[in-house]
Structures are given as structure tokens and as C-alpha cells.
Amino acid sequence: MTTTLPQPRQFVYRLSDNLRDETPSLGVRASAPSEGEREDVLLSKLGPKGWGRLHHFRHYYSAGWGDGSGRPLSPRSLEAFYRFLESATFPVGVQPSLFLTDQGYIELYWEDASNKAVQIEFRPTEIEFYIEAEQVEGCFVASEAKLLAKRLIA
């Protein structure tokens, strides 16, 4: 028994002319990282412990945690943290510790090769940092998180 299939149509779907956009593109833009991509970066740079701590901060620390005055995780602090983490490179064998401040900001801490503290607090509009080995502290605008990551590598 043989079956003959119908001939395929040339144009199954046709885009109407009023939906066509002939304007030239201004360039290719990178899409924002997905939640999955961000979790992969988090796992690769801070390990399972760091991932777990951030998961707890996001899902279990609501207003009033701790002594009753703790604030929930700030979404803008989290965004600055992710931007920093995407560009950050940590010394081999070092996985920074992750903390949630009473104000709801993320704080990252590790020790450099000379066992001196490096501490970064991600606030909604700025990022404060302290490098003990250089006795330097300062601020970056939150949108410049990637610049701070490069500064710490140098």
C-alpha cells in the first residue's frame, strides 16, 4: 500500500506588509542575562554555599528578620551585585563569603593572597569597598559595578 502525500505549499505563512519593518537596525544589543545564566555565574564564582545563602536571602529573609529591624533584600542591591559578579575574578581557591546587611544590602567578603580583607557592600545607588592591604576605601556608582571588578583585579 502506498500513500501519496499532498504537495507542500510554497508559502504557509505570509507576513502582511503593514507588519514589515524596513528601518535599519541601530545595532545588535546584548540581551539581559537570564535568571539561569546568573545562577550559573553565581555557582561558578561563589560555589554552592554562596548560591544557597543568596537563595535564602531572596526567599526567606522578609522585613523584620534578625532582631526585628532587618530589611528584605534590596532588588537594586542584587542587580549591582550580579553586574559585579559577571566581571569579577577571584584568586584561585578563594570563594568569597556572602552576607545580608540589616539594611537589606548584599556584602561580599574575602581575603587576598596576603590574608588581608577585601569587603564590598552593594547598595541601591552605590557600591562601597574596602581593601585592607592598600588601606583604601571608597565608592563606585552602582552602574559602574564592572569597573570596580576590574579595579580589584589590577
pLDDT digits (tens, 9 = 90+) for 40-84: 888 989 999 999 999 999 888 888 888 888 889 999 999 999 999
pLDDT value at position 25? 54
Predicted pLDDT at 66: 80
Domain assignment present for 2: no
Residue 81 confidence (pLDDT)? 93
Q: How far apart are CA 150 and CA 144, in angstroms?
A: 10
Residue 140 falls within a domain, yes or no? yes
Q: Is 11 domain-assigned?
A: no
pLDDT at 15 over 80: no
Q: How many domains does the chain have?
A: 1
Q: Are strands 126-131 and 117-122 parallel, antiparallel or unpaired?
A: antiparallel
Domain range enclosing 117 = 35-153
Asked, for residue 111, whether it belongs to a domain, the answer is yes
Write the pLDDT tens digit of every residue in 16-33.
666 655 655 555 555 556
How many CB atoms are closer than 10 A to CB 58? 13
Strand partners, 138: 129
Q: Is residue 12 part of a domain?
A: no
pLDDT of 27 reads 57
Q: Which residues contact 59 (CB under 8 A, 6 or more apart)?
A: none
Residue 4 covered by a domain: no
- Residue 65 β-bridge partners: 70
* Domain assignment of residue 143, yes or no: yes
Tell me what pLDDT residue 61 has: 82
Identity of the amino acid at 108: L
